[in-house]
Each structure stands twice: as C-alpha cells, then as structure tokens.
Amino acid sequence: MYFYLYTSDPSGSIYVRWGRKDCPTNPTEMVYSVFGMEYETNDFGSNLQDKDVPCAVCRVSHASTVLMIPGKSHCYSGWKTEYSGNLMSGHHGHAGASQYVCVDSSPDVLEAGSRDDNGYLLYGVKAYCGSLKCPPYVQDTLFKCVVCSK
C-alpha cells in the first residue's frame, strides 16, 4: 500500500508520533495513521498491557529537520518540541530487528486492539550503569525522550 502527500509547499519534514492517533496542534498535518505493535508494559499508563499501539505520521512545514533525542525530556535551545515521551523498544531476547521509538507521554490505545496477539511488543527502556555514565543516569530507571524540529 502506498501513501502520497500532495502539497503545494514541498518544504518540511515527516516524523512518526508513536502512541497517538493524531498529530500535535498546528502547524502540523497528519499524513496517515497506522498500527501494528502491542504495549507489553503498564509502566507508562494504566491498562496499556497487550493493547495495540497507534501511531500518526505527521508533517511539519516549519522545519527541515526532525530529531528524536533519547534520555532527554526537553529540546536544545533553538529547537521546537514536537512531543515528549518515553523511550521504548522491542525486547533484546526476541527475534527480529528492533529500534528505539519515542512513545508519547500520554499514550492512546486502539479501541478494537485488545487481543493479545504478541506480535511486535514494545517495552520501556531502562538505564544500566556501566556503559552509561551514572550519574546523570540512575540504574534501572526508565528513559525519557523528546522529538524536536528545526
């Protein structure tokens, strides 16, 4: 399936807002909304376990660059916050590729997505001292994240 974005202004940038069915307020527009993963935790909100994770593909016209910063909850000076949240990923012991995603701090679920299919599962990412410098990180705490644009 292909999705096309028709616009008279070709500038801008695209990003995925994980955990939400909508994009942040103007000047952001939604390109399309999809799903295909399950929350495998209740760490970030009650009653998330085994629910389907929504996401929205968003386009910002005011920026040419969008960046997800793990371990931070605020953007650097001069950058605009698109959304902030919690760093999540697939389990290191599961088969298949995985990547870190920033799931919105106010996560939604898909209404009809309550079957426990155990497809692609998302877990919260925790800090482990050793390869990470502690402090500023704290052993066994969940990572925050922020999506910034400029």
Counted domains in the chain: 1
| Closest among 22, 106, 90 to 57, alpha carbons compared | 22
Overall average pLDDT of the 51-64 stretch? 88
pLDDT-derived band at 95, boundaries 50, 70, 90? low
- Expressed as residue numbers, the domain containing 112 is 13-149
Distance of CA 57 to the CA centre of its chain: 11
Is residue 7 assigned to a domain?
no
User: What pLDDT, on a 0 to 100 scale, did the predictor assign at position 6?
Assistant: 45
129 secondary structure, DSSP code: B
Q: What is the pLDDT of residue 4?
A: 42
28 close to 81: Cβ distance less than 8 angstroms: no
5 within some domain: no
Per the domain annotation, does 60 fall within a domain?
yes
Non-local (6+) Cβ contacts of 97 within 8 A are 90
* Number of neighbours of residue 97 by Cβ within 10 angstroms: 6
In a domain, 1, yes or no: no
Please tell me what DSSP assigns to residue 126: B
Q: Please say if the pLDDT value at position 103 is more than 60.
A: yes
* pLDDT > 70 fraction of the chain, expressed in percent and rounded: 81
Q: Provide the pLDDT confidence category of residue 99 given band limits of 50, 70 and 90.
A: confident
